[in-house]
Amino acid sequence: MRILLRNAHILTMDDQYTEYPDGYLLTDGDRIVSLGEGKPSFTADETIDCQGGILLPGFVNVHCHASMVPFRTMGDDCPDRLRRFLFPLENEAMTGELVYLGALFGIAEMLLAGVTTFVDMYYFEEQVARACLEAGMRGYLGETVISQATPDSPVENGGLQLVEEMLKTYPHHDLIRPVVAPHGTTTVSEDTLRACGDLAQKYGAMLTLHVSEMDYEMQYFAERGQTPIQYLDGLGLCNERLLAAHCIHATAEDIALLKLRNARVAHCIGSNTKAGKGVAPIREIAAAGIPYGLGTDGPSSGNTLSLFDQMRLFAVCHKTKNHNRALFPAREIVRAATRGGAEALGAGSEFGMLLPGMKADLTVVSLDKPHLFPVFNPYSTLVYGANASDVSMVMTGGVIRVKDGQLTGLDINRLRHELAGVMGPFRRAATRYADVI
Residues in touch with a copy of itself (CB under 8 A) = 69-70, 72-79, 105, 108-109, 112-113, 269-270, 272-279, 303-306, 309, 312-313, 315-317, 319-320, 322-330, 369-371, 373-378, 380-381, 384-385, 387-390, 412, 416, 419-420, 423, 430, 437
Task: Please give the DSSP secondary-structure letter assigned to residue 104.
Answer: H
Q: Is residue 376 classed exposed, middle or buried when 0-12, 13-18 and 19+ CB atoms within 10 A define those classes?
A: exposed
Which is closer to a copy of itself, CB of 98 or CB of 193?
98
- DSSP codes of every residue in 363-407: EEE---SGGG---S-HHHIIIII--GGGEEEEEETTEEEEETTEE
Return the exposure string of 224-236: e unless at least 16 CB atoms fall within 10 Å of the residue's CB, then b. eeebbbbbbbeee
Residue 307 beta carbon to a copy of itself: minimum distance, rounded to whole angstroms = 12
Shortest separation between residue 7's beta carbon and a copy of itself, angstroms: 17
Least Cβ distance, residue 80 to a copy of itself (angstroms): 9
Q: Which is nearer to a copy of itself, 225 or 370 (CB)?
A: 370
Contact residues for 233 (Cβ-Cβ < 8 A; gap 6+): 257, 261
Say if strands 242-246 and 46-49 run parallel, antiparallel, or are unpaired: unpaired
Q: Which is nearer to a copy of itself, 158 or 340 (CB)?
A: 340
Closer residue to a copy of itself in complex, CB, 41/431: 431
Q: Which residues of 171-186 are buried (b: 16+ CB within 10 A; e: fewer)?
A: eeeebbbbbbbbbbbb
Give the shortest CB-412-to-a copy of itself separation in angstroms: 6
Bridge-based pairing of strands 115-122 and 138-145 is parallel
Quote the CA–CA distance of 107 and 109 in Å, as a whole number: 5
Spatial CA neighbour of 186 closest among 225, 237, 220, 155: 220
SS3 121: strand
Nearer to a copy of itself, 328 or 351 (CB): 328
Residue 381 φ then ψ, to 5°: -55, -45
Least CB distance to a copy of itself at residue 253 (A): 23
CB of 269 to a copy of itself, least distance (A): 8
Nearer to a copy of itself (CB atom), residue 147 or residue 300: 300
> Which is closer to a copy of itself, CB of 145 or CB of 294?
294
| Dist. CA 163–CA 143, nearest whole Å | 6
CB of 207 to a copy of itself, least distance (A): 28
User: Between 99 and 257, whose beta carbon lies closer to a copy of itself?
Assistant: 99
Least distance between a copy of itself and beta carbon 379 (Å): 9
Minimal distance in Å, beta carbon 107 to a copy of itself?
Answer: 10
Residue from 129, 235, 137 nearest 182 by CA: 235
Which of 267, 213, 266, 188 lies closest to 80 in space, CA to CA? Answer: 213
The nearer residue to a copy of itself, 26 or 110, going by C-beta atoms, is: 110
In this structure, which amino acid lies at residue 245?
A
Neighbours of 328 (CB within 10 A): 22
CB of 229 to a copy of itself, least distance (A): 21
Is the N-terminal amide bond of 374 cis, ω within 30° of 0? yes
> With respect to a copy of itself, which residue has the nearer C-beta, 89 or 166?
89
